[in-house]
Chains A and B, each alone.
Chain A
Amino acid sequence: MILDSFRQDVRVGLRVLFKDKIFCFLAVLVLGLGIGGATTQFTIVNAIVLRGFSFPHPEQLMSVGLIDPKASDQNNNFGLGNIPTAQDYEDLKAAQKSFSMMAGYLSGSTINVTYKNNPQRYTGGYVTEDLFKIIGVSPVIGRDFTAADNKPGAEKVAILGDEIWRRDFNADPNIVGQGIRINGKAATIIGVMPPNFKFPVSEELWTPLYNEFPPQPRGDLRLGASNNAPAVMGRLQPGVTLDQANAEFIALARNLAKDNPKTNQNLTSASVQPLLHAFTGVQFRQQVWGMLAAVILVLLIACVNVMNMQFGRAALRAKELAIRGALGATRWRLVRQMLTESLVVAVFGAIAGVIIAYWSLDFFVRAINTLPFPAPYYWRFTIDGPVLVFTVVITLLATIASGLVPAFLSARGNAAEMMKEGGRGNSSRLVNAITRVLVVAQIALTAGLLIAATLEIKSVRNQMKLDYGYDENAVYAARMGLMEGAYPSDDARREFFKRAARGLRANPQFESAAMSSRFRMTFDAQGQYEVDGQNYLTDRDRPRGNFESVSDNYFSALGLKILEGRDFTVDDVDSKHPVAIVNASLARKYWGIKVRLVTSCESSIPVSRSRGEPLSVSCRTC
C-alpha cells in the first residue's frame, strides 16, 4: 500500500516538476552541482584514504619506523619514523613477535634495464624477498623472490610488472629465464606480476634489495650518500592489536638505542602505523577530508537554495495541499508526498551530479597525470559501489534538507481558510521568517566558503610564484642515473659527468650546463652540520640544513652570483678537503664562522642510484 502510494506520489511529482520547468531546471542544476562536487571529492577521499589496498586483510599491514622523541615532527618523518640502516631493520625483524612477516623496500628508484640491446629506464622497487608474500600477491608467471635471490653476490634476478611485460617485452609467455642487464649487470627475469599491480607506489619492475645494495654496518655512512636503508612494513599476527605492536617496537627501539649508543642513542621510541599512512601523510589526509567538508558545505548551500525555491512553490501549492487534507490526507501523508517530490528533484540532481562527477574526475585524473611524480597506483579515481552509496546517502540527506521544512510548513495550513474563494495561501509569518533566515544563512555560508577558497587559491598562487632564485623558464633539467655495472667506480662516473657537461656546454643551443643532485630541481637532501667552536653533546643538537651536491659552473648556469669568495672548480673533488658554498642567510647567521658539513644518518635524500657527484657541497640558494 505504501509502495503504491509512493509510486503515485512519484508519478504526480514528475508531472508537477515537468509542468514547472524553470523550477525543475534550476533545482536539478543547483543540486546537481552540489551532489557532483561532493561525489567527486568523496571519490578522491575513497581512492586516497578509504579504499586502500586490495590485498587480503590490508588492515593488518603496518609501516614501522624508529622515533627520536625530542626531534621535530618533520625529522621523525611526520610521525611515521625512520629506519636509519638495513641493520636496524634486520635487528627489529629478528627480535619482534607482533608481525607474522616483515619486509623492506626502496620505492620509486631508477632501474636501468637493457633487453635485446635496447636500454630502458624504469621506475622500480628494490625489495626484500618477503615483500610480495607479505601482501599476499604472487607473480602470475614464474616465481617469487627467495632469500637466496636477496643475498649480496647472488645471481641478479628481476620480476616484471604486467604493463612493461606487455609493452616492452611483447607479452612473451616464455619471458621467464630470459637474460637482461639490470643497471649494467647480467640478470634473469624470474616472473611477471598481475595486471595493475605497481606496489608500493608506481613500480614497473622489482629486484632484490640486498643483492643490489649490500647492507652497510651502522655508522659507516658517507657524506651526501644515501645509505639505501629500506622503508619497512609488517603484517600483524592474528589477534595482535596496533597498540600491542607499538608497545613491542618501542621496547625494541630502546634496546637498540642501548646496544648501539653511537648511532641509535636518540631513537628511543618507535611508530607502528597502518601502511596506508606511510603513503598518505596526516596533513594530506586532513586536507583531503577538509576539502570534502568544504564541498559538503557547498551541497548544504545548494540545499538551502532549493529549500527556498520549495517554499515559493509550497505557497503556490497551499490550496492543493488543503484540498488533499480535506479529502482525507493526514499531515504526515502530505509531508510524505512533498518529500517524495523533493526526492524526485534530488534524484535528477544526483544523476546530473554523477555525470558532473565523471567529467570532473576525468579532468582531475588528467591533472594528476601531469604531476612530476606518479600517483600511487592504488589511487583509482572511479565511481564505484561505495561512492554510489555515498551519493545515494547525500541525495537522501539533500532531499530531507531541502524538502522537510517546506513540507511540514505547507502541511500545517488552515484548510478551511485556504479553500474559501480568494483564500490567501499559507505565506505565514513563520514561513517568511524562515525564508529570511535561510537567505542570511546562505549568504553567510557562501561568504565563508568564498573567503576560504580565495585564501586557498592565493596560497596556491603564491606557491606557484615561489622564487627559486633563478629564471625557471630559461633552465632545462634532465635526470641521469649511472649504475655500477656500466660505471663501477667513482672515477668512471665522474668522467662521464665531465664528458656530459663538456658536450652540453659545446652545444650552441645552451649557454651553460652543470650537474646537481637536486631531484627534478625541486627536492634536495637534508643534513646536519657543525659550526666550529660550538659544542654538540648529541646528534640532536646539531643544526639541520638542506644541501645539494653540484658541479662547477652550477651557479652561473642558473644565473646566480657568488656574493663572497669563489665558485667551485673542477678540482674541488678531494674528499679530504671538502669545500662548501653557503647561502646568504646562513652566512649572516654565522658570519665570520667557518662552516663544516657532516652527513646525517637521518638524511632524507630521495632514493636514487645517482652516484659520482662532485664532492663539493652547497646549501640551497634561496
Chain B
Amino acid sequence: MIKLRNLERSYPLAKEKFFYVLREINLDVQEGDFISVMGPSGAGKSTLLHILGMHDHGWRGEYFLDEAAVHHLKPKERATLRNEQIGFVFQQYHLLDDLTVYENLDIPLSYRRYSKSERAALVADMLDRFQIVGKKDLYPRQLSGGQQQLVGVARAIIAEPKLLLADEPTGNLHSSQGEEIMELFRKLNDEGMTIVQVTHSEKNASYGKRIIQLRDGWIVNK
C-alpha cells in the first residue's frame, strides 16, 4: 500500500548546509498492516508520519500510496488523495475547541463531498459506535483526555480512510485510557484498516504487527 524509496527530509542550516531529519528511508507497508514506529525523541518519527499524512511537503525521494506517485502530485492533488485515503490521530487530540463533539466529527465530512443527510447519518453512526451519543453536544474542554482521544479517533476514521496514522495517540492518556484506545486500534486493524502509529511505549508498540526503529533519521531495523 505504501512504498517509500530513498526518502529524505532536511532543513537548511547555513549556506549549503542542511540538518537531516530523515535519511534514505526505504519502507513498504502492506494493506492491513499495523506498524509501530519507535525511537528516541528527535529520531524523525513524527516527521515521517506527517510526510505519510501529506502534511509535510518539503521532502525528497519517492512515495507511492497505492498506485499514486505522491512525489509527482501537485499539492492540491495530494490534498485530494489524503482526504480520500488517510485519517490522522494526534497526540494532542487537536479537537477544535469551539466545536461540539458532533461538529468535530462532522468537520472532516464537511470538507468532502458528502450531502448533509449523509453526514448526519455517518456522524450518528460514529457516535453510536464509539458510545459517545450522550456527549455529542459537549465541547472538548468538557471531556476527559481519554474521551477527547476517542473523539479524535472517531474523527480520523469517519470518512472511512484506508490508512490511519497515529502520532503517539496515548501519549497524554493514563494507562487504562491508553489501553482502551489501543484495543480500538486493534479492532480497526482487524476490520482491515492499515495503521501506522508512532509510540514510545513498548506495550503499545506490541499491538502492532511490525515495529520500525528510527535513530537520527535512519531506519535501524524493520
Interface residue ranges, A against B (CB under 8 Å): 1, 4-5, 8, 12, 15-16, 19, 319-320, 323-330, 333, 414-416, 419-421
Contact = CB atoms under 8 A, between A and B. Distances in A.
A415 B91 contact: no
B110 A415 contact: no
Given A330-B76, A330-B111, A419-B55, A324 B96 contact: yes
Contacts of A328: 79, 82-83, 108, 111-112, 159
Contacts of B82: 328
Interface of B: 46-47, 50, 53, 55-56, 76, 79, 82-83, 88, 90-92, 94, 96-99, 103, 107-108, 110-112, 115-116, 155, 159
A240 to B, nearest CB: 59
A4 B116 contact: yes
B96 A320 contact: yes
Given A327-B107, A419-B90, A420-B46, A12 B79 contact: no
Nearest to A4: B116
A400 B48 CA distance: 38
Which 4 A-B pairs give the minimum distances between C-beta atoms? Answer: A328-B111, A416-B50, A416-B55, A416-B56
Nearest to A418: B55
B98 A15 contact: yes
A414 B11 CA distance: 14
Contacts of B155: 327
Contacts of A416: 47, 50, 55-56
Contacts of B107: 324, 327
B8 to A, nearest CB: 16
Nearest to A12: B98
Given A326-B53, A327-B155, A8 B96 contact: no
Contact of A5 (B50, B96, B110): B110
Nearest to A19: B98
A316 to B, nearest CB: 11
Nearest to A333: B111
B94 A8 contact: no
A323 B97 CA distance: 11
A416 B88 CA distance: 12
A324 B47 CA distance: 19
Contacts of A320: 96-98
Contacts of A19: 98
B196 to A, nearest CB: 15
Nearest to B112: A328
A35 B197 CA distance: 53
Contacts of A329: 111
20 contacts: A1-B116, A5-B110, A319-B94, A323-B94, A324-B96, A324-B107, A326-B53, A326-B88, A328-B79, A328-B83, A328-B108, A328-B112, A330-B79, A415-B56, A416-B47, A416-B50, A416-B56, A419-B90, A419-B92, A421-B91
Given A4-B116, A326-B55, A419-B55, A12 B111 contact: no
A333 B110 CA distance: 10
A329 B83 CA distance: 9
Contacts of A325: 55
Contact of B111 (A15, A16, A327): A327
Contacts of B50: 415-416, 419-420
B181 to A, nearest CB: 18
Contacts of A323: 94, 96
A380 B96 CA distance: 50
Contacts of B46: 420
B22 to A, nearest CB: 13
Contacts of B110: 4-5, 8
Given A4-B116, A421-B92, 5 more contacts: A1-B116, A323-B96, A327-B108, A328-B112, A333-B111
A14 to B, nearest CB: 10
A326 B49 CA distance: 13
B89 to A, nearest CB: 11
A421 B168 CA distance: 11
A372 to B, nearest CB: 58
Contacts of B53: 326
Nearest to A16: B98
Nearest to B155: A327
A16 to B, nearest CB: 5
A424 to B, nearest CB: 14
Contacts of B83: 328
Contacts of A4: 110, 116
B94 A419 contact: yes
Nearest to A332: B76
A305 B2 CA distance: 49
A416 B110 CA distance: 21
A328 to B, nearest CB: 4
Contacts of B92: 419, 421
B37 to A, nearest CB: 15
A5 B108 CA distance: 12
Given A328-B111, A330-B111, A415 B98 contact: no
Contacts of A420: 46, 50
Contacts of A421: 91-92
A469 to B, nearest CB: 70
Max chain B Cβ within 10 angstroms of own Cβ: one of A326, A328, A419? A328
A340 to B, nearest CB: 13
A17 to B, nearest CB: 10
A325 B107 CA distance: 11
B59 to A, nearest CB: 10
A8 B102 CA distance: 13
Nearest to B87: A327
Max chain A Cβ within 10 angstroms of own Cβ: one of B108, B155, B159? B108
Nearest to A329: B111
Nearest to A18: B98
A523 to B, nearest CB: 65
Contacts of B76: 330
A16 B88 CA distance: 25
Contacts of B111: 324, 327-330, 333
Nearest to B82: A328
A16 B107 CA distance: 16
A461 B61 CA distance: 75
A15 B100 CA distance: 11
Contacts of B56: 414-416
Nearest to B46: A420
Contacts of A5: 110
A504 to B, nearest CB: 77
A591 B88 CA distance: 99
Contacts of A414: 56
A415 B55 contact: yes
